[in-house]
Amino acid sequence: MTEPLLKVKGLKKYFPIHRGMLGKVSGQVKAVDDVSFYVNKGETLGIVGESGCGKSTTGRMLMRLLEPTEGSIEFDGKLLSDLSKEEMRKARREIQMVFQDPYASLNPRHSIGKILEEPLIVHGIGDARERKKKVIEFLEIVGLSSYHAKRYPHQFSGGQRQRIGIARALMTNPKLIIADEPVSALDVSIQAQVLNLMQDLQKELKLTYIFIAHDLGVVRHISDRVGVMYLGKMVELADSESLYSNPLHPYSKALLSAVPVPDPNFTREQILIKGDIPSPSNPPTGCTFHTRCPFKMEICTKVVPVLTEVEKGHSVACHLYNEQGQQ
């Protein structure tokens, strides 16, 4: 049986809003508001939503780049908040991140060899000769060549730079990779190559992925399960197949109806959502999606819907579904 590598419970991140000369706290931005999920070893969990839905903040909390306001993160059987400094350093080796903009995340003044060697130096892995060997090995693993180690980031195309970003994330032999919109900045033709590379590496190196994206089309092929986030909350979580064939939450339906389908005989219910995403500093009451939802009912403005499993492995937070999952 597969076991979870990562368990997240009740995760929250509230940022204070400071106003006036004295910087008094006048409110909070609820960037992530009570999110729970798990990721099994070797699987890919896609997290999807519009910008500002909290998906990247969630990723940054998992990396401990941001401290959660509340909630727990359990990685490989241990609560991250309970780890000593030394244990946390080790955990950081095992959780790595691939960023959206590979150019911005690679130091332009350092050669690729130096960029790839850096995480090994930081974590005290190997001597100079072993580190050089590992740099070459990982350049080759991501489809580049040993001579690229001497070049600089500006000498590479966007796709090649993302390969370097992936190689850098792999240098410390991580178990979990958090990929935050890793292909969004790339041309469509290059996106598929990078996604294929990530899938091959996953099999080869037994990696677990959290794949963050704003586009359901992109995460479809790589994800085993997908979570849809809206305004800091997880509104639907299901295995990929049931989410794509039978999305339940009106927001997921709307996101999916915007994804082009290559089959001309396939028709999907078109759901258009109006307006912009509300401000997370002043989210709507009840269901935060009610200001844009075409199915809004009276209860929706008053009661927060709870993420509930309505079919095996398929959870949704919406008042349209009762406990039996009937609409």
Residues that bind ligand SF4 (CB under 6 A): 249-250, 287, 289-290, 293, 295-297, 300, 305, 318-320
Q: Which lies closer to ligand SF4 via its Cβ, residue 110 or residue 296?
A: 296
**Which residues, other chains included, contact 203 with Cβ-Cβ below 8 Å and sequence gap of 6+?**
none
Q: Which lies closer to ligand SF4 via its Cβ, residue 265 or residue 324?
A: 324
Q: Which lies closer to ligand SF4 via its Cβ, residue 240 or residue 288?
A: 288
Distance (Å, whole) CA 51 – CA 231: 9
Q: Which lies closer to ligand SF4 via its Cβ, residue 282 or residue 308?
A: 308
**Tokens at residue 47, please?**
């997290």
3-state secondary structure of 115: helix
| Buried-exposed string 116-137: b where 16+ CB fall within 10 A, e elsewhere | bbebbeeeebeeeeebbebbbe
Distance (Å, whole) CA 103 – CA 243: 33
From the CB of 59, what's the least distance to ligand SF4, in Å? 24
From the CB of 297, what's the least distance to ligand SF4, in Å? 6
Contact present, 174 and 94 (Cβ < 8 Å): yes
What is the distance, to the nearest Å, from the Cα of residue 258 to the centroid of all Cα atoms in its chain?
Answer: 20
Q: Which lies closer to ligand SF4 via its Cβ, residue 155 or residue 322?
A: 322
From the CB of 254, what's the least distance to ligand SF4, in Å? 10
Number of residues assigned to the chain: 327
Contact present, 212 and 177 (Cβ < 8 Å): no
Q: Which lies closer to ligand SF4 via its Cβ, residue 300 or residue 310?
A: 300
From the CB of 305, what's the least distance to ligand SF4, in Å? 5
From the CB of 45, what's the least distance to ligand SF4, in Å? 22
Contact present, 161 and 106 (Cβ < 8 Å): yes
From the CB of 326, what's the least distance to ligand SF4, in Å? 14
